[in-house]
Structure 1
C-alpha cells in the first residue's frame, strides 16, 4: 500500500475549509471534530463508528446543500473502504468526491482526491500506469496553486510504483524531487525511513550496492529508534534482498527473520482487521434493518412481530456465517504457517540451485575462454603461413590450393567467433560501441572478403549506397559488419550462378540528427520455404536442400537477430521458393562530424610507407609459440623491419633493459612471467616504448586488464596482415611524431 498522509490532509483540508467557510458559514466543530474522530476510529479498527460518522457527514451535507460536507463524507468513506480492502467501493466513493470537487470548482481539494485515486489504482499491478497518471495530476495542481510542499506524497508514491514495477530509471527523478522538498520542510522520521528505503531499492536494482547499503543503514537507525512497524517490514525485506545479492547470507537471514516476525504480527493484525471488518459489515446490515423496522413500525404496527422474527432469523444466519468465517480463518492461519515453512524450504532449494547455476556459468565462461585461446593459436599459424605463401611469387603453381587453405582456416575462425559471440550475447556480455569508420569502405571491404566464395559459387555481388547518406560515420562498425557478413554469406551459400545485391538507402533524417537507414540484402537463389521462415532464426536451425551440400552451423541468422536487438531493430524476410530471398532491417546511423583537418592529421600511414619512413625500426616479438613467433618475424622482416625474439616475459624484460627497441609485440599467456606482468615491469623503467598486445585470448574478457597494465594497443590473433601492419605503423607514428616536436 502506498504512502499516505491523513493528518497532513486534515491540515490542508482545514485551511481550505476556512477559506470556503468565509463564503458559506458552516459549523467548524462539525468539520474538525468529526473528521479527527473518524480517523481515530480507523486507527483503532472501529470501522462501524467511522462509517456512522461518514454517513452522518454525507447526510448533513446533502440536507444543508453543503458541497464541502458531502465531499468530506465520500472521501472519508473511500478511505474506510480502502482500509477494509473493498477496492471497488473505494473507487466509487473517491470518484463521487472528485465529481463534487469539479462541479463546485474547489481546486484546493483536487490534489488530495487524485492521490487517493492513485493509491487505489496503483495497488493493482495491471492499473499502475493509471495510478501514476493520477499522481501526476495531483503534482500539476499543487504547482499551479503554489503548494509545492504538498508534492511530497505523490512524488514518493510515483517512485514507489515504478520500483514495484522494476523500472528504477523511471523512479530516480521523483526520488530526488521528494528529497529536495523534504530538505525545505520539517523532517519527520517516518518520511526519512520511507524515502531512504526507496533510495536503497533504487540503488539495489541499478547494481549500486554500496549506495544502497548507505541508504539502508540510515533507515536502520530510524526504524530501530522509532519502532515503525510498516516501515520496518518494508526495510527488512529489501535490505535482506541486497544482502543476498552481496552474498552476505548470514546477514540476509537475520533480516528475513526480523521481517518474518513483523509479517506474522501484520498477518495477525490483518486477520483481526478482516474479522472486525466482517463484524462491522454485519452490524451495519443489522443497523440498516433496525432503522427500516423502526420506520415501518410507525406506519404498520401490526407487522412488528413479523419484522422482529425476520431480524432474529437474519441475526441467526449471520451469526452462523460469521462462525463459519471464523473457523475458515483459523484453518487458513494454520495453512499459512505450513505454506511459510514450505516456502523457506523452497527458498533454500532455490539458493542451492542459484549457486550451482552461477558456478556452472563461471565454468562455461572459463571453458569458452580456454577453447578460444587454444583454437586461435594454431589457426594463427595456418592463416599466417597461408598469407605469407600467397604473397610469395614462387608459389604461383600452388596459389589456388593456398587460397582454399586460407578460406578453410578463415571459415573455421568465423565458426569459432560465431560460437563465442552467441555465448556472450546469451550472457548479456555485448554492448554497442562508437568508433569512426567510412560506410563505403566498410561495404567494399565486406564485398572483397567474399571474393573466394563468390568465385567458388560463380556469383556476383552488387553494391548500392544512397548518395544522401554521409560516408563518414561513427558507431559500432564491428557489429554492423557481423550483421552484413552473415546475411551476405548466407545468400552466397545458397546461390549458384546468381546475383547478390546490397542496398543501403536513407529513409529520413530524424529530429535528433540521426539517419534512419534501410539495409536490403537480396539474392535470386533457391529461396526459403514458408514453413522454415520463422525457425531459421533459431539457433542451429538450417534450411535443408538436396542441391547444396553446404549446410553451415545454423548460427548466422540467430546472431543477426540478436545483434539487431542491440540496435532496437529486427530482421524482416520475404522469400519464395525458386525466386530468391530479401532480408531487410532498419537502424539509425550517426554521422561523424569530426573536423576534416583533424582527421587528416590523425590519419594512419599506409603499409607501403613503412620502408621509407620507418627505416631500421627494431621490433621485439615476445611469444612462447615458436611457429607463431617465426610467422610474425617473417611478416615484419619482409617489410624491412628488424626483429628480435623472446620466448617469455622474463626474457623480454632483460632484452628491453639491454637494447633500444622501437616497439614490442607482447603475447599474453606465457610461462614464467606473462605479458601483463612483463608490461607492468617494463613500464617501471621505460614509459615511452609502444607495447602492443598480440594475443589469442577472448578480448572482451581481457581488454581492461591489458590496457590497465600499460599496453598501448591490441592485435587479436589470427589477424589480417593489413590490419596488423596498420596497428604497428599507427603506434610507431605516434612515437616518432612526439620525438619530432
Structure 2
C-alpha cells in the first residue's frame, strides 16, 4: 500500500523487510519470494539497485528451483531494470523482450504493462525513440484496459449489492408489520406478566445483592493477596531475565576479547614469520580459534538458531582441505585415545564448492570430536560421496563412522536434545551436551537432517546430506571480492581508543601493515585531548572501557563538532549495541575478532564517504 499506492517508499520498505523476517520464522518460501519480489521492485523504483541486488538473487535462485510462472514476468522485468542500471544494454534488452513475450503468453496484463513501460526507458536511453514511443503507447493501452475491467467488476458488484439491499428492506418491512400485530394481540397479557416479573426480579435482586456483597468482600481479600504474589513473581521473573541478558552479554564480551588476541597473534605470526606459513600446528591453532569463536557465538545465541535468525554465508572452499583441517585440528584428541582418522572423498566432487564452510566445519568438528572421545584404539572414517547433481547444485552425503562404544537404542532419540549426555559413566567424556543439538539445528539451516545408526559395542555412524553450489564464475567473483588492495599511496591517520594492551598491539600492527599511521590511547579522556590537537581520518573506538565508555566518548567527540568517522571496535554482539551506537554518533560497528580485509574495507568506505562530504 505504501510503496505502490501512496509512493511512500521510506515507510513501505521497512514493512517488507519485517515481512521477510516473519516468512523466515514460519519457513514459508512462497511468501518469502513474493515479499522479496515486491521489495526488489520498490527499491528499483527509487533507484536503489545496489540495495535490491541481494533480494533479486534470492528470487532468481527460487525460480531456478521451483519454475513458478506467477513470478516469471516481473522477475524478467526486474533483471532487465538491473541490467539497464549496470549499463548491460544487450542483456537488459533480452530480459525485457522475454518479460513482454511471457506476459503476452500468460495473459498477465498488469505485469506486461509495466514491462513495456520499463522497456521504453531502456529504448529512450538507447535513443530508439520510435520503439520507445510504441512501448509507451502499449503501456497506456494496457492500463486503460485494466482500469476498464476493474470498473466493470465494481459496477457488477454494486448492482448485486443494490438488489440485495432492496430485498432486505422488503423483508424488514414484512417483519416489522408482523411484530406490530403480535405486540398488539399480547399487549395486555405482557403488562400483567411484566408486573409479576418486576416484583420477582426485585426480590431476587435484593437477595443477590446481600450475597454478592459478602462474596465481593471475600474476593477482594483473595485478589489483593494474589496480586501481591503476582507482583513479587513478576519482579523475580524480570530480575531473572535481566540477569540472564547481562550474563550472556558479559560472557560474550569476555570470551571474544581473548579470542581476538589468539586470532590476532596467530595472524601476526603468519605475517611476520613467513617460514611458519606451512606449519600445520599454527594453521590448526588459527582454525581452532576461529571455530571456537563460531561455537561460542552459536552457544550464546542458540535461541537465535532455533528462531532461524542466522543466515548462511556464501564462501568458496575445497572439501578435502576442510577434512584435512578437521583432522589436523583434532589430532591431539586422536593421539590421546590412540585413534586414527581416515579421510575418503569421492573423486566426482568438484574441487571448489560454494557454501557456509565455517558452519559446515563446525558440524564436522562436533561429530568427529564426539567419535574420537567415545572411541579408544580405533578408527574414525570421514567419508564424502556425491549422490546427485542438479544444474549447479551438488548433493554431498557425509558419513562419520567409528568403532567406539556405540549408543543404545533407547538413547538414540535423546542425543540431539540440548544438555543431554549419554554413555557417560565417569568423567572420561567431557562436554556440555550441546554439540549434537547445535549440529542438528545447523543442518536445519542447510535444509538437511541427520540420521544415526549405532549398536552398543559396535560403533556409530552419523549420516547427513548437504547441497553445495559449484559455479566457477561465482567462485572467482567471491575470491575477487575477498581480495582488497592492502597498500595505500597516501598515509592515512587512524586513532585507536582501546584499554586492552594485547588488543592495542594487534590492532596497531594490523593497521600499520597497510601503510596507515596509527596512534593508540587508553581511554576516552585521552582521545578527546588528542583530537583537539590533531586531525585523524578515522577513529576505532572500543566500547567497554574504564573511566568513560565508547558511547559517552563518541557523544563528547560529536559535541566538540568533530565529524571524523567513528567505527566501534567491540566484542559485544552487534545487535545489542546498534541503536545506542547510532544515538552516540558512531558510523559503523566491527565485532572482534575480525578479518583485516573486513577492517580495511569498512575503514576505506567511511573515509571516502567523509572526504566526499568535506
Structure 2 length normalisation: TM-score?
0.50
Look at both structures and tell me which one has the larger radius of gyration over its CA atoms. Answer: 1
Q: Which has the higher helix share?
A: 1
Structure 1 length normalisation: TM-score?
0.42
